[in-house]
Structures are given as structure tokens and as C-alpha cells.
Chains A and B, each alone.
Chain A
């Protein structure tokens, strides 16, 4: 009797459990589906999937999907409406593209999850448009399990590389490319992009790969900035040592890592905060960082551990990424009715039956072509947004041209720094003095050992008085943690003759946190970090700043007076 009771109770419970699981699934699908995008090229042929991540229309997809669709594309949502969309930023190496759907400011969007919390065995949903079946834009949903995490997939074709990706047995098929992978809570944990295909044809065989959302988060600022983003290298190659160690095999002497002290045969203990036990692991972690980011690296030499912050150089030359071919796009999935992309000699061109679709003039303005950018329009937008952080300095725009800063340093030295139209100079009690002519001669490391502090302050003066117009070039470079471990900052890069500056604005409140000024490529920059601001003669000015050059602290400067006079007054 009790046995029967137990058995029927367990059946009942199983049924409750199954029903509960089912209703959970349908709830997740209902919640997530409106954010899933069916992407088509403007002529209606071919395409893939995507997912909205913000109410103003930003959506993620694969580079190999958008690159086949052109700069403007058509995007269908499950409300049955077809929206116009424009390319924003691309990551050809990581196979990611950011697009922006147009026409609404209240798009449904998917919340971003934390892909580092994903474990093998977790349930996932893939949504998208496999085999382009979703003619009504209702996404196809497949359900499956995470097979492995932190997977590394070797570059396919030219430079497409999947690092630190999520492997799933969830059915991913041609057309799913660019679509979302959701966790069981309906949070976006990855972008589906690649499947293992072998002798069984281009269909799922139980191994699909999604680019982790945490990797994409690192690149998000750059993507929103309309850039062709690049991944990073260490400037060194690594090899496996004995006993699961990873050693520096060879290192470029021009690399930042070399200047920070990394040498051949050093053992890499951890990279970006994650322990390193294999070459694959190292490649995995390296692959999720954008070019130009600084990350902590711990190495061991002769039993002694050392932590350094290395700035990562670009993986590719700019020209490599701009090759139109890019990674070879896989063949477009055939439509269910058997119609493939039209061939030029098709006797019944599709255009004839389609209504003429002219892009609105206001949308056409949203694409600006410029070398090195996927869409320069968005870079300009981001520049304007970040430059708003200079508002407190507005009083400097009409300031006279002769600046004299004086005060003392933390190590009880005194300084007087003059920024004049013809020359820059620095006088100290203890430190060596510096002089930099502004007659067209090269910028030098003046005062010596500072990395060109005079040149750097001159750039700062130019930014405050002239804004973007003072430089030959300005670009928004996305966001990154300041100095590898600090708060998130937005980065503007400027160029004027041979001096390149990176200006760091705190992402949270737009405050200018500091800048790096370098006198050339492959040399260390003078790193100026603002510690405090005060009013100086009614104008907002950094009253305390630290200067670091390479591995040494040059000093912390406390500015007591800022003396500003017109240029025509005589300089002493």
C-alpha cells in the first residue's frame, strides 16, 4: 500500500516537475524571443540572426553574417515588422558585429548574463533563423546543454579565431549564426557562431560554439565606436614547459612586455588575473582582450615572482583587417523553397516582384565611410559624448597662451613649468631641468626621465584651449579598465605631429582621469594621472597629478599656482 502510494506520488511529482520545467521553458522563450533578430541583406537574400541588447536598437551578430549583408540591412523581429538597420562596429577576428536597428527607442532587448558563471551541464536556448525558416520572423528555438566552457578554436581561414568560447550540444545550424545563446534564466551568455562540421555535411553534429558575452563586453565600447576592432598579442610567444608550466619562448624587444621586464624563459604564472597552466589557456585569455588594453601579468624567474602591467599591442596590421575578403563567409543557407541567392543571369530577378525600397534620407546620414572604421558616424557620436567630460574646463577655451605652473612635488622638490607659445621649460630644485623648443624640432624626453612631460602638458594645454580642432586626428577607442585594474574609462586618442595621446575619461561620470602621451611608437608613454582638481584663477585645473614613465615614478606634482598671461606679454 505504502509502496503504491510512494510510486504514484513519485509519478505525480515527476509530472509536476516536468510541467514546471516546461512552463519555465515556455516563459523563457516568450520573454526572450522578442529580442531575437532575423537579419537579411537589403536585397532580401541570405542572412542570419542577431539579438537586441539595448532599447535604442543596438544588436549583436556575427561579422560573417553582416559582412555579407552590406552597410544597411533589413531586420525582422517577432512582432512581424521589418526594420532598417545600419552597421556600427565589427570585430573580424572574433567574428562579432554590432548593428543598430532604426526607427524605435523602445526595442525589446535581452539582458546580458555573466558567461564566466556558465558550467558544463547547464541548459541553454539557442534562438535564431536556421535555414532561414523564420519567414514570419518568429525565431526557431533549440534547447540543449553546455558541453564545455573556455574552449579554444583555432583560426579558420584567415584570422577568425574563437577564444574562450562556450561549447554546446544545443542544435546550431547554418542561419543560427549571430543569434543568441540564452541561459536558463533567459540572459544572453553568448553569440552562436560556429559548428563542428565534418564529413556529415553542414548540419549540427552535437558541437556548436558560442562567443562568450564576457569577451564581447570587453569590445563593446570599441564596437559602439564604429571601429574595426582588433584583438591583442603579448608581443611574445609562449611554449609549454615541463609539469604544466608555460614559458616565454621569444619576445619582441620593441614590445611593452619587454620594457616592463618580461624575458625569454620566464614562467607565466597568471595573466589578467587567471592562472595559466597551458598554452591553450593563455591563448584563450589573450584572445578576449582588445588591442591597447593593459592587463596584469605575473611571472616567475629564478623562483622569484613579479607582477607587471602590460599594454597589449594589436594582433594584426590595420591593412590586414581591412581586406574586404575577411574570413571566408560560409555559404548562405538555402531558403526552404529552394531558392538560393540570385545569380546575375537569373531570368526572374527577385527585384522585379519586390516593391522598390528606398532608404530614408535620415538613415543614409547614419553611415560615414572612413578608412579604419566600420562606420565613422558612430565614432563621431562617441567622441562628442566623451568630450562632454571637458565641460568643467570650458573656461580655458579663450585662455591666454602663456602658462606658468609652480608648486612642489611629493618628494619635496619644487618646480616651475612654463608652457609658452615658443618653448616649454621646467625648472626644479633637485631634478634635472627640461627645455623643449616649439620651432618644429622633434619632441624629446624633457625633462629627462619623464617620458616627455613637457610635450604631454603642451598636449593637455592644446586640448583645453582648442578641443578636438587642435589635433590632426581624434578617435574614440572604446573603454577599458584604467591601467589594467582601475575603474572603467572611455578612451580618446589624439595625434599631433609625432605625439600620440590617449585621454582617459571615467565611464561613470565623464571626469578626465588622466592621459598617456607618447613621443613615438614602441616607446613608453609619460603617464599622467589626475588626483585632484581645484579652481585656478577662476578656472578648473588639476591641482595634483602623478607622472609615471615606464617602470619608474617620475613624481607627484602639487600645483600651488597657475599663472596665466597673454602671449604678447614678454616671457622671461
Chain B
């Protein structure tokens, strides 16, 4: 008797269950797998080949000679942060598989704290910037970087996991957070911004591109460290312009109504497309190391190995003084630069470009 009741009830219930299961299966297929307990190794395997290790200038205390970047074109364009690392002639770029390339700076945008390097290669795995995603607080993310230079040779870079704590505006202030970048950032709850991690990449747990890991940033008043990531949406236009060779400077110091709201940022050599030799001694002569293609400096006819002697009418005796002189310039100023080329003095002129705001 008992048995028959049991069989009766299963006869009724099973068709219903079957239909329910079918529906459940369909729903399961339709939604992304949350997989809280799953290993991230698959995502890491697909993302790591797009992340590179960069070795360049530095080596002194707190000036690390290593950093991170990630491939943004199959032809070897690499997005990284603009830092002292790129002060040397060329930097060494090591791919995930251990291949080592010479990287050259093809463009920089100091207000965005970004630089684009190029290596001579083709068919590389890379991120598609147009596929970058925007995420909200609570999103689980992975940070890929050459933190602490732990990974060498053909080892994949280090990966750490975290959660987006906030999407906010980084207000860089002198005396507190000193950062050239001040725009929208993600704040991460994990220590993404370690030595050498700047230029690394933040993705979702599914490997979708989120942003570029920023530099180490310490609040000098509270001695706290901020782990921030620059969203790709803030960088992608500039990156694409640099890669396509259309880049001059993007931002103006005026808003749409033509009213300047904030103080202009101080100018630096890179704003003119100049890269000087690394400033390593007390009075490093201001030799031009490289002139970025398409830049004001190139149009004006400046060349590598030119020694900058005068900015305007002021004698420039070192890289340090060059920085000071350029820092005094205002947007739209006429700029005269006198250089020594071989045994000749050459004078070039240009107009100070409009600049982004602080």
C-alpha cells in the first residue's frame, strides 16, 4: 500500500519536475555563470598573454626600474603609465611567453598619466579598447601587474583579486594626493597599486577590460595608500589618436562656454614632444634624446642630440632648469628655443599649445 502511494505520487510529480527542470536549464543557459567558488585560472590564462613587463630607467630607492603595461594592438602598441621608467633611450618589454623586445615611446599624455609604447611585432594577443566595460561598486575584479618584479622571464605576471569599492573622482591636491591624473577612478579594496604595478590592467572576473592600474599614491597627511584604477573610457580616445598618429593634445583649458574654470597645469617637455636624456646627475645637460613624431618639436625641426641652451631669453644649464622654464609658460605664449647642434646654434620657434586643466 505504501509502495503504491509512493509510485502514484512520483507519477504525478515527475512530469511537473521535468518541465521545471527544463525551464531551469534554459534560465541557467541564459544567465552568466556567477561561479563564486570557481577558480579564476581560466580567465587568467586568457588575460595574461596581453600583459607585459617593462624594464627601464630607475633602480634607485623608490624609483623602481620595472613596471607594467598591456597590449592594445596586434602590432605591438602597449598602454602604460607615463613615468620615470620611460626616461631611458629604450625600454625592455617582456611578453608573457618570455620574448623580449625593445620598446619605444610613440606618444605620451601627461595629464592622463599615460604613455604608448611600440614594439616591433605582429599578431600579438591584445585588448580591444572598444570592448572595455564600465563597472559599479561591488564588482569582483582581477588586477594583473609586474608588482615587485616577482615574475621574470616567461612567467606570467602576478594576479590579485579584489572588489570595486567606489567609482569616484580623484582630486589630486598638493600636499595630500599628488597625482598628475585627476579624473574618474575606480577605487579597489585590494592592494593593486604596488611597486611596479602601475600600467597593469584591471579586468572583471570574466576577463573584460576595466581600467589601467595607477601609480602608488600616498596621502601625505594621513599616510594612507590609495589603490586607484583609471577607467579605459577616460583613456581610450587619446590612446586611439596616438596609435593612429592623429594625436596633438586633446583637452583645452576652457569648458564648452569658453570659460576657463581651473588653473592650467604646468607645461613639461613632453607637451612639446620632447624627451630629454635621463636627469641623473645634479646638472644633467638638457640634451634632447628623442622627438616624438608629429609633435610641435618635430614640426619646429628639433632633433635628437640637440642641446637646449635657451628657452626664451633664459639660459638653460640643466634638465632641471629646462623643467622650471617650461613650467612658467602660458597657453598661447610664443616660445623660442635655442639649441646647439654640432657646432652651430639653431633657433626654433613655436606656440605653446592649449593645455588640459588641473
Contact = CB atoms under 8 A, between A and B. Distances in A.
Given A20-B37, A145-B40, A145-B161, A281 B153 contact: yes
Nearest to B216: A199
Interface in A1-39: 5-6, 9-10, 13-14, 17-18, 20-21, 24-25
A185 B62 CA distance: 40
Interface string A187-222: 000000000101110001111000000000000000
A6 B30 contact: yes
B158 A207 contact: yes
Given A119-B44, A145-B160, A169-B159, 18 more contacts: A5-B27, A9-B27, A13-B34, A17-B34, A25-B37, A120-B156, A121-B39, A122-B39, A144-B161, A148-B157, A169-B190, A169-B191, A184-B39, A200-B225, A206-B190, A206-B192, A244-B98, A278-B153
A13 B27 CA distance: 10
B154 A244 contact: yes
A20 B33 CA distance: 14
Contacts of B158: 147-148, 167, 207
B159 A121 contact: yes
A151 interface: yes
A402 interface: no
B41 interface: yes
Interface string B26-37: 011011001111
A289 B155 CA distance: 21
B121 to A, nearest CB: 15
9 contacts: A6-B30, A18-B36, A119-B44, A144-B161, A148-B158, A167-B158, A196-B147, A277-B98, A280-B153
B150 interface: yes
A377 interface: no
Interface of B: 24, 27-28, 30-31, 34-37, 39-45, 48, 62, 98-99, 147-148, 150-161, 190-192, 194-195, 225
B194 A148 contact: no
B194 A205 contact: yes
A121 B44 CA distance: 7
Nearest to A205: B191
A360 B150 CA distance: 47
Please provide the 4 A-B residue pairs with the shortest distance between their CB atoms, ordered closest to farther.
A121-B40, A278-B153, A121-B41, A206-B191
A279 B153 CA distance: 8
Contacts of B45: 121
B155 A151 contact: yes
A51 B49 CA distance: 36
A277 B44 CA distance: 21
A442 to B, nearest CB: 48
B37 A123 contact: yes
Contact of B36 (A17, A119, A277, A281): A17
A248 B281 CA distance: 38
Interface in A217-251: 244
Contacts of B190: 169, 206
Given A9-B24, A10-B27, A207-B148, A169 B155 contact: no
A14 B34 contact: yes
Contacts of B191: 169, 204-206
A150 interface: yes
Nearest to A3: B30
Contact of A13 (B28, B62, B160): B28
B39 A17 contact: no
A208 to B, nearest CB: 11
A21 B156 CA distance: 28
B194 A206 contact: yes
A10 B29 CA distance: 10
Contact of A21 (B37, B40, B225): B37
Nearest to A183: B39
A125 interface: no
A152 interface: yes
Contacts of A206: 147, 160, 190-192, 194
Contacts of B157: 148
Contacts of A204: 191
Interface string A27-69: 0000000000000000000000000000000000000000000
A207 B154 contact: no
Contacts of B161: 144-145, 169
A21 B39 contact: no
Contact of A122 (B35, B41, B148): B41
Contacts of A5: 27
Interface in A89-137: 119-123
A13 B151 contact: no
A169 B190 CA distance: 9
B154 A9 contact: no
Nearest to A152: B152
A40 to B, nearest CB: 30
A10 B159 contact: no
B155 A277 contact: no
A277 B31 contact: no
A147 B27 CA distance: 33
A144 B159 CA distance: 11
Given A20-B37, A144-B161, A9 B152 contact: no
A17 B195 CA distance: 36
A119 B44 CA distance: 9
A121 B43 contact: yes
Contacts of B195: 198
Contacts of B24: 9
A24 B37 contact: yes
Nearest to A199: B62
B154 A277 contact: yes
Nearest to A9: B27
Question: Quick one: which of B41, B48, B155 has the most chain A CB within 10 A?
Answer: B155
Given A145-B161, A206-B194, A150 B41 contact: no
Contacts of A151: 150-151, 155
Contacts of B98: 244, 277-278
A148 B156 contact: yes
B40 A148 contact: no
B113 to A, nearest CB: 21
Interface string A126-170: 000000000000000000110110111100000000000001010
Contact of A17 (B37, B150, B159, B160): B37
Nearest to B30: A6
B81 to A, nearest CB: 18
Contacts of A17: 34-37
A200 B195 CA distance: 11
Contact of A280 (B40, B148, B152): B152
Greatest chain B CB density within 10 A among A145, A147, A196 is at: A147
Contacts of B31: 6, 9-10, 13
B93 to A, nearest CB: 15
A152 B150 CA distance: 7
Pick from B156, B157, B158 the residue with the most CB of A within 10 Å. B158
Tell me which of A17, A24, A204, A206 has the highest count of chain B C-beta atoms within 10 A of its own C-beta.
A206
Contacts of B39: 119, 121-123, 184
A120 B159 CA distance: 7
A159 B147 CA distance: 24
A54 to B, nearest CB: 29
A200 B148 CA distance: 13
Contact of A150 (B42, B43, B155, B192): B155
A21 B159 contact: no
Contact of B155 (A6, A148, A244): A148
Nearest to B41: A121
Nearest to B190: A206
Interface string A255-290: 000000000000000000000011111000000000
A283 to B, nearest CB: 10
A89 to B, nearest CB: 29
Nearest to B26: A6
A204 B39 CA distance: 22
Contacts of A244: 98-99, 153-154
A206 B216 CA distance: 14
A148 B159 contact: yes
